[in-house]
Amino acid sequence: MFKKRYIPSESANPWKEIKELRVRRGISLETISKKTKIPLKYLKALEEGSTDVLPDILYVKNIIKKYLLFLNVDPRPFLGQLAPRKKITKEPQKALDRKLMLVVPRIIKALIGFILIGVFIIYIIFEINKIFKPPMLLLYYPQEGETTSSTIIEVRGKTDAGTKIFINNESIILNNENLFSKDINLQKGLNLIKISGINRYSKENVIWRNVILQIE
C-alpha cells in the first residue's frame, strides 16, 4: 500500500498516534475489519489501548500484525509493549477449598447445636405451659341442657394422660386411650352433673352439665 512503513514515535500513547494516522488516510475501522477479518470490537479495543479485553496473547499479536501491516506500520514496537498475561493458577482455588473444608463442618456443628438448643427451649416452654395450664377435658355426652326420659345417662369424654377424672366427686378410671365413662342415675326434673379433671400440677378443669329427666 505504501512504499515505506510508518514507524511510530516513542510517545506515551502510540495507539492514539496510529488512530490519527488511520483517520488522516481516510480509512475506517469497518473497512479494515472487512479486509483483515478482524472483529470490529477488537480493532476499537486496540486503538483505545485496551489490550486486556482482547483474547490470549498469541491471538492479540496476530491481530496487531494484521492491523498495522494493513496500515503499513511497523508492528514490532507495539508487540514489544504487550504485557505478559498472568498464568491462571489453581492455588487460590485450592486454598479456598481447604478453608471450606475447615469452615463447613464448623457451620454444620453450629447449626446442629442451634437446632438442639431450639428443641430444648421448645420442650421447656411446653413443660412450663403444662404446669400453668389446666388439663384438656372433652365431654362427648351429655350436651348442656340435655333432656331425656331415661333414669340413667352415660357421661363420657376424653382427657390428657395422667389426669385424674371425677364425676360428681367420684373418681373415674381412664382406659388406655384416656377415655372415661360413667353411668349416672337421674332424678326427676333438673340434674346437675360436675365433671372435673386434675393434672399432676394440681391444675383443674371443670365442666358442668344440666340434664333434665322428664317422666310422664
Arithmetic mean of pLDDT, 26-31 = 88
Classified by CATH at the fold level, domain 14-80 comes out as 434 Repressor (Amino-terminal Domain) (1.10.260)
Q: What residue segments make up the domains of the chain, in order of their start?
A: 14-80, 89-132, 137-213
**Mean pLDDT on 147-175:** 93
pLDDT above 70 for 7: no
Residue-level pLDDT at 92:
63
Sign of CA dihedral 89, 95, 98, 99: negative
The residue that leads in pLDDT, 64 or 192, is 192
More confident residue, 171 or 61: 171
Q: Which CATH number fits domain 137-213: 2.120.10.80, 3.30.70.100, 3.30.2420.10, 2.60.40.10?
A: 2.60.40.10
Domains 14-80 and 137-213 equal at CATH topology level: no
Instruction: Check if the beta carbon of residue 32 is closer than 8 Å to that of residue 38.
Output: yes
The pLDDT value recorded for residue 93 is 66
pLDDT of residue 193: 95
Predicted model pTM: 0.44
